[in-house]
Structure 1
Amino acid sequence: MVVDEYAQGRPTAALKPYVAGYSGYRQQGLPPMRHLGLPSPCLTMILTLDDPLVMESHPDPRQRPGRYDALIGGLHLSPAVITHDGRQSGLQVALWPLGCRALLGLPAGELAGLDVDASALLGEPAVARIRERLSAAPDWASRFALLDEWLTARSRQTSIRPEITYAWGRILGNVPVRTVAAEVGWSGHHLTDRFRAETGLRPKEAARVARFDRARRALRPGRPIAEVAAAYGFADQSHLVREFRSLAGCTPSEWLADQFDFVQALQLEPAHDGSHD
């Protein structure tokens, strides 16, 4: 029997400063697949429902391939590669970097470029319990509600420098780093150091990834790549192609041919920039 399910959900209002969105997927009886996990402005948490997640390669090539029942991936500048044999199921949570302290208990900077076993951060019993509850839930809406409940219970009040919160929103809004540094009253060097420690990327890297992510989401079969490049701030089509080669390891055309159907089903446009007070 062939199963090919996808679903998307938004977090409750209380979680929106921390969580951009949820995706659920269940596939069975399909051809084996190789999926690219591309750089984005959000960390990724994956909780599998059945078979482990198979990581063929990580953004950091020094990490060995592995299998995970639950995984958390930090912000990165190169793709991860996920494979499956035609069967996979799970839930993906897109986490804003500035919500990492509240939900995971550490700054996102400590996870930069890494994929880690979620049990190592959240505790094996806690991860096992939520996976069991998610597996037993009758539908995707119920699973998303369970994620809301679980993450709300995990959330803690934290203190992030207001300059970083402000800078995150401005940087993702494509404001030059020099301008943002002047607005918060810091030197460019100090802003870069503090921003990277909190999020895992330098300000210019975060702006680059955000621009790439917006352009990637706008790609469609039949839409000229040059049109997307112009709409999302690239100098020309060649500039966008170079960024794709650097951040995705392939061209936009290759990505559309190999990944579009799967990624379009899962990708959820972030509701906002993840800034919070």
Structure 2
Amino acid sequence: MDLSSGQEALSLSCFGTLDIWPAANVSIMVAIKLSHNLHTPMYFFLCGLSFSETCTTMVIIPRMLADLLSETKTISFPECATQMFFFFGLGANNCFILAAMSYDRYTAIHNPLHYPILMTRKICFQQMMASFMVGILISLCIVSIIFSLSFCGSKTIQHFFCDITPVVSLACDYTVLHKMALLAFTAFVLVGSFILIMISYVFIVSTVIKMPSAKGRYKAFSTCSSHLTVVSIHYGFASFVYLRPKNNDSFRQDMLMAVTYTVLTPLLNPIVYSLRNKEMQIALKKVLGNANRFITQSVNKRVMNF
């Protein structure tokens, strides 16, 4: 079964950012890996988030580029199911990593003396793996429901990748029961993880307001500001696409928003963390400086050899 995929004008609008976001996320991961002072739970989760978001975008971008270079712009049935599986699995993983990061901030602020015991490397790794496994299971359920449907009539996907709404709109036996099941799974990921984040921040706020020092309160809130900014961006766009009521204009609106959360959001997240974090700024300057020296030396050697 071949499905027509992609809107050329919309895909072209994303092309200008493709050379920027991989470098941004890779720089974050390399800076955390090479800087020993960043080997803490907070940066461990940030590294995991950057890696997961890079993979999420890689699920979309190569196919979109292939559509740009192809006249047919077709995607096979198995390829569509695979793309959707990895996209939603990694997307759900991002949500639960953000929830783990909020718990990490709560533990650091509420129990600073016991923080090294409560957030060991093993516990952080277990939380990361739990986020990944939950994401994969939820995605498997979503894809199983969608691709068990019968597709008839038009085979043109009104989108630049295999998203839920454009694909199920092609099904001839899509019922209210299917719709409620898909809504339940997406709500579990978005609303469930968001509730966990809000619970953590309720306890964080209650702890911070009891601090006698204004400087201590400012420092505590500043450690959470970057995370809150990323959470607002991530959940704002995702909720608009997957939780709002649909109408006749939904496809076009969803495509416009999809450009944001598949291309721009993975670029904004490392920028937010690097701009609002001095430790990250110092680490990134070292990494970029070393990379610049390496490139300069390589170019000079090539010129001399020539």
TM-score (norm 2): 0.26
More helix by share: 2
Return the index of the structure with the highest Cα Rg: 2
Greater relative contact order (CA < 8 Å, ≥ 6 in sequence): 2
Give the TM-score normalised by the residue count of structure 1.
Answer: 0.28
